[in-house]
Homo-oligomer: A and B are copies of this chain.
């Protein structure tokens, strides 16, 4: 057993060789032995014509549906664009409804409708149902294929039914419903196995069920599943009817996706597609997020302009701009990352704003004090005396840089804490609000306070 990364590399280099040699039987053999999740990882390394060859093989081997669920958006779109409608419909038919809806939702409306027309029967009904839910809600990610039985069913009868199931992939819970399809309770498969055969389920079931609604955000679904260690969570519609379930393997994907989004938002990259190799799309996603920083920089030009007189008289002032900005930026990023992440995983919450704010403020003061002393000492050694307008200063210049970095670090830690908490309070995603905006605000505050301190002490 070697690790997944090394295995990926070995598999990929073998596949590339086999494709170059057009060794179809060997490729078929490899496909048969390889998990679809691994196969999906071959595509980014292949040329378009090699991808097409592999698509054809996978369709022939009836593995394309599975592979499509696991592929990245770039490769998936290439498959959808280049495959003829009939073959595409067959592939989509072989996939679970929630995976198909996931793929369709990524496509432009027009293409979505075209594909929906290709898919017929029950599959299409399920799909249209799923597609009506908002993106990133429980309804959108749930599967409508679950296993539910009436309260009077006995354990033996339920077991018998499980035996006959085809469509339902992962059964770990048996949901118990009333005549109107309202959720009454739940039993784990383990409990079902462990019980006497003729016990009715209503005597076995747990009635305290953790459930979510179709409109519940996927983030919250993940929180419920993770917190209560569930393997699946039932999804109810507004009339409390059981509409579907979200299984933990999908929750794992949601958690990864939400984490990726949070990191990218904090880095100010917009909804960039990591898998995409397109420079144009990458540029377009990132361009607007740099605007905050750009606008902030322009403001800084004016702020420094106000102090042009001081700068001309005392050039070393300019030399300390980067360190004061940099340290403020770094401690601000530390604080805002701790807060954004703490809010996301529930280790920081809004009932303790003052405690957290105090901790960050005090930490800012401690770190600011330490680095202030260090920078003051450095400032003294580097510029033993400075001269402003004929006057000699021995201690005031190091005092200016020491005070400035200290005050800026306190400000930065405080702003980095307040901004995400404020956004959480007004129910705006703190991650999106934090990244470039906090950094830019801190830059301007830092420069302004630096020059004001310098002006009042030295000029």
Residues of A within 8 A of B (CB): 1, 3-5, 8-9, 12, 35, 37-38, 41, 44-45, 72, 159, 162-163, 165, 170-172, 189-190, 192-194, 210-213, 216, 220, 223-229, 231, 236, 248-249, 251-253, 255-256, 259-260, 262-264, 266-269, 272, 274-275, 277-280, 282-283, 286-287, 289-290, 293-294, 296-298, 300-302, 304-305, 308, 311-312, 315-327, 329-331, 333-334, 336-338, 341-342, 345-349, 351-352, 355-356, 359, 362-363, 366-367, 370-371, 374-375, 378, 382, 436, 439-440, 443, 447
Choice from B44, B231, B316, B331 contacting A231 with Cβ under 8 Å: B231
Q: A331 → chain B, closest Cβ, in Å?
A: 7
Determine if B304 and A319 form an interchain contact, defined as CB atoms under 8 angstroms apart.
Answer: yes
Take A212-B1, A370-B287 as given contacts and tell me if A352 and B253 are in contact as well, using a CB distance cutoff of 8 Å. Answer: no
Are B323 and A297 in contact, CB atoms less than 8 angstroms apart? Answer: yes
CB distance from A284 to the nearest CB of B (A): 9
Q: Which of B162, B252, B347, B436 contacts A252 (CB 8 A)?
A: B252
Question: Contacts of A282 on B, CB cut-off 8 Å?
Answer: 359, 363
Q: Could you list 20 A-B pairs, sorted by A, with CB under 8 Å?
A: A1-B213, A4-B227, A35-B228, A37-B229, A162-B194, A193-B193, A248-B252, A260-B341, A267-B336, A272-B334, A277-B355, A287-B367, A290-B330, A297-B327, A300-B322, A301-B382, A308-B316, A322-B325, A326-B439, A329-B439
Asked whether A363 lies within 8 Å of B315 as measured between CB atoms, the reply is no
A300 contacts which of B41, B308, B323, B439 (Cβ < 8 Å)? B323
Whether B290 and A331, one on each chain, are in contact in the complex, defined by CB atoms closer than 8 angstroms, is: yes
Return A437 CB to nearest CB of chain B, in Å: 11
The answer to whether B212 touches A345, judged by C-beta atoms less than 8 angstroms apart, is no
Verify B263–A331 contact, CB threshold 8 A: no
**Residue in B194, B236, B256, B348 whose beta carbon sits within 8 Å of that of A226 in the complex:** B256
In the A-B complex, the 7 residue pairs with the closest CB atoms = A297-B323, A267-B337, A300-B322, A304-B319, A318-B318, A229-B249, A259-B259
Query: Which residues of chain B are within 8 angstroms of A278 by Cβ–Cβ distance?
Result: 359
- Distance between Cα atoms of A283 and B443 in the complex (Å): 22
A265 to chain B, nearest CB (A): 10
Pairwise interchain contact A293-B326, C-beta atoms closer than 8 A: yes
* Distance, CA A165 to CA B296, complexed state (A): 64
A226 CB contacts on chain B under 8 angstroms: 249, 252-253, 256
In the complex the two chains form, is A316's CB within 8 Å of B305's CB? yes
Known: A220-B3, A279-B366, A315-B312. A439 touches B274 (CB 8 A): no
Smallest CB–CB gap between A298 and chain B, Å? 6
Report whether B294 and A323 are in contact in the complex, using a CB–CB cutoff of 8 Å: yes
B363–A286 touching, CB < 8 Å: yes
- Cβ A172 vs Cβ B322 within 8 A: no
Smallest beta-carbon distance A190→chain B, Å: 5
Q: How far is the CA of A323 from the CA of B298 in the complex (A)?
A: 7
Of chain B, the residue at the smallest CB distance from A227 is B37
The answer for the CA separation of A41 and B326 in the assembled complex, in Å, is: 36
Q: What is the CA–CA distance of A262 and B262 in the complex, to the nearest angstrom?
A: 12
Complex: how many Å from CA A142 to CA B324? 47
Instruction: Compute how far the CA of A342 lies from the CA of B264 in the bound complex, rounded to whole angstroms.
Output: 11
Specify which chain B residues have a CB less than 8 angstroms from the CB of A231 in the assembled complex.
170, 172, 231, 248-249
Residues of B within 8 A of A3 (CB): 216, 220
Contact A269 to B338, CB < 8 A, known contacts A162-B193, A348-B274: yes
Is the CB–CB distance between A334 and B193 below 8 Å? no
| Extra A-B contacts (17), CB below 8 Å, given A293-B330, A301-B378, A318-B318 | A5-B346, A45-B352, A162-B193, A170-B231, A192-B193, A248-B248, A260-B345, A263-B341, A267-B338, A277-B355, A278-B359, A280-B366, A293-B326, A294-B323, A294-B371, A302-B319, A308-B316
Interchain CA distance A406-B301 in the complex, whole Å = 17
CB pair A327 B252 closer than 8 Å: no
Chain B CB within 10 Å — which of A165, A210, A262, A293 has the most?
A293
- Which one of B172, B329, B333, B349 contacts A172 once the chains associate, using CB atoms below 8 Å? B172
Query: In the assembly, what is the distance between CA of A250 and CA of B304, in Å?
Result: 53
Bound-state Cα–Cα, A348 to B41, Å: 11
* Chain B residues within an 8 Å CB radius of A252: 225-226, 248, 251-252, 255
